[in-house]
Structure 1
Amino acid sequence: MSAVLRTWLYVPAYHAERARKALTSGADAVVLDLEDSVPAERKDEARQGALSILRDLPAERPQVWVRVNPLTSPWGEADASALAGSAADGVRVPRAEDPEEVAVLAGTLGCPLQLLVETARGLRAARELAEAHPQVAGIALGEADLAADLRVAERGLDWARGWIVVVARAAGLPSPVQSVYTDVADLEGLRATTADGRDRGFLGRSVIHPRQVSPVHEVYRPAGEALARARELLSAYDRARERGDAAVLTPDGRFVDPAVVAQAQLVLTLASLDPSSPPAPSPTEENR
């Protein structure tokens, strides 16, 4: 399984057929949801549905994570107990606010955790949350809930987005996953905001419909020029290292040091994920 995940497809865990179809959607990760997309009266059904899917996973599959209910909710403890020792690749934890609670949950589950910051309290504690336990494998924003709690418009989250990128990287975690784009029909808006998130330091995006998978992958697919440039930089750096140098100036004047090399290696990693995939269809083509 790839360590670089571009798409995280949410699917309600009580929809067994939809959940199993999600495993063949092309998403890099499927998130069996026990929280927002599940009505209160179906929480137990969703939990059992997730466990059933986890017991019967195909050999060839994307990563499969589970988003549990908050620990402070009536269902959080039951979710954690049920998932302990399961085949889930990891658990997404909504409304993360308390580092001590995160540490206890990590000990119970014994698997990687991705923390979702969705409240002012969580945002204030983000640095401590990111370092709460070695099993914390990522931290990101849940933007809809966070905007509501902060009473801000969408653009009012820009500073929070920058902060979560800093928190994640300072803690040695992967770049945060971008929050969902809720207008499923607006693929151009999805592409544009995903590209903006990529440039701001996010890597990958949560999605809520299979049609959103391909556009996000398209944004993260390096163009031919970028790919050629990355290969050129790495080749120049390898030659420099053979000479015993730690950095090199390319013939066109580009200074190449380990930081530049790391960026170039990420480009090659992204290019390797689906090198033969065609570009995603435009909204017009998709609706024909």
Structure 2
Amino acid sequence: MSVTDLPRTYLYVPGNAPEKLDKALDRGADALIVDLEDAVPVAEKDPALAAVQDWLRAQPTDLRTELWVRINGGNRRSGEVAALAGIPTLRGLALAKVESAQDVREVADQLASLGDHDSVLMPLVESAVAMLQVAAIAAGPRVHQMQIGEVDLAGDTGLEPGQDEAELAGIRMMVVLASAAAGINPPVGPVSRITKDAKALAESTRRVRRQGFLGRACIHPAQVPVVHEVFTPSREEAEEARTVISRLAAAEAEGSGVLLDDQGRLVDGAVLRNAHKILALAARAEP
């Protein structure tokens, strides 16, 4: 999959609030993650699952917004997989509190046994145990992208992230490296609890982008336009990317795989890959 096809925003929506689901489609997010886990009280999980099934089946198959469902771990996981398998409008399952590659394999095997060969998986690593298994989890079957549950992870490890989130940098890099090593898409940026300070959210999101994430999960509709802006290249960035691609193509035609740009910086294959990524993100932002 090209990054052209990857969402810039994944907006979480409670699965026990049907009235919010239709409204969420108008919030501008590239993707929705309908939540059956933390956002839904235990007593409401069964009716929420039934309501989410009905809602997903009622959506058109050509819907531009990607639809995901975050399912529970533990004893509920298998039943929720069975209920959601094979729904045509469902892009994939976000797997809460994955602890090992075995968790991923079990879900992938169950989907296959139910005749669902299309749904992909997005494991969430939310504990120290999961972080130490992250490379194996990322390499699991059907894994499309990874995501970090940083709030749970901080609680599990005793981390107290400051405003610059420096304490989380090493953990984030582990997930980025595991994703690259597994040959899957870059991970989805973690949620932020910042909902009213657009400047602070933009700064945090720019940091996430520099760290190697692609797109970001959102917990409030007000976060969506801010994240979109950060993950949408400027005209200048897009034009520079086009220039890099054309100049390197010309250099290769003359027998050279590298060149210097107008500022004397080396341009090689790695820079070329980033240029293609920038143009893909620019294309994703087009209406």
Q: Same fold (TM over 0.5)?
A: yes
2-structure distance, mates of 1:172, 1:103: 17
**Matching residue within 61, 64, 88 for 2:67:** 64
1-structure distance, mates of 2:243, 2:231: 20
2-structure distance, mates of 1:157, 1:192: 15
User: Helix, strand or coil for the counterpart of 2:145?
Assistant: strand
Q: Is the 8 A contact 1:248 1:257 kept in 2?
A: yes
Unpaired runs of at least 5, structure 2: 112-116
Alignment of 1:16-55 (within 5 A): 16-55=18-57
2-structure distance, mates of 1:143, 1:36: 14
1:112 partnered with 2:120: yes
1:144 partnered with 2:156: no
1-structure distance, mates of 2:7, 2:63: 16
2-structure distance, mates of 1:81, 1:174: 26
User: Helix, strand or coil for the counterpart of 1:180?
Assistant: coil
User: Helix, strand or coil for the counterpart of 1:137?
Assistant: coil
Q: Using the TM superposition, give the Cα deviation of residue 274 of structure 1 relative to its aligned residue in structure 2, in angstroms.
A: 2.4
2-structure distance, mates of 1:260, 1:200: 16
1:209 partnered with 2:216: no
Unpaired runs of at least 5, structure 1: 277-288
User: Helix, strand or coil for the counterpart of 1:196?
Assistant: helix
2-structure distance, mates of 1:21, 1:267: 30
**Matching residue within 127, 133, 138 for 1:125:** 133
- Per-residue CA deviation, residues 134-157 of structure 1 (Å, 9 max, x unaligned), is x11111210000000011112432
- Per-residue CA deviation, residues 193-246 of structure 1 (Å, 9 max, x unaligned), is 000111111111000121211100111121232222111111101212333433
Q: Is the 8 A contact 2:78 2:107 kept in 1?
A: no
Which residue does the alignment assign to 1:273? 284
**Aligned residues: percent identity?**
36
RMSD, matched Cα: 1.7
Which residue does the alignment assign to 2:241? 230
- Per-residue CA deviation, residues 13-46 of structure 1 (Å, 9 max, x unaligned), is 2211211121222111111110011111110111
2-structure distance, mates of 1:113, 1:38: 21
Q: Is the 8 A contact 2:205 2:227 kept in 1?
A: yes
2-structure distance, mates of 1:263, 1:131: 23
Q: Could you tell me which amino acid in structure 2 is paired with residue 61 of structure 1?
A: R
Higher relative contact order (CA 8 A, sep 6+): 2
1:263 partnered with 2:265: no
Cα–Cα, structure 1 residues 61 and 224, in superposed 2: closer, same or farther, change >3 Å? closer
Q: Is the 8 A contact 1:23 1:61 kept in 2?
A: no
**TM-score, structure 1 normalization:** 0.89
2-structure distance, mates of 1:272, 1:207: 21
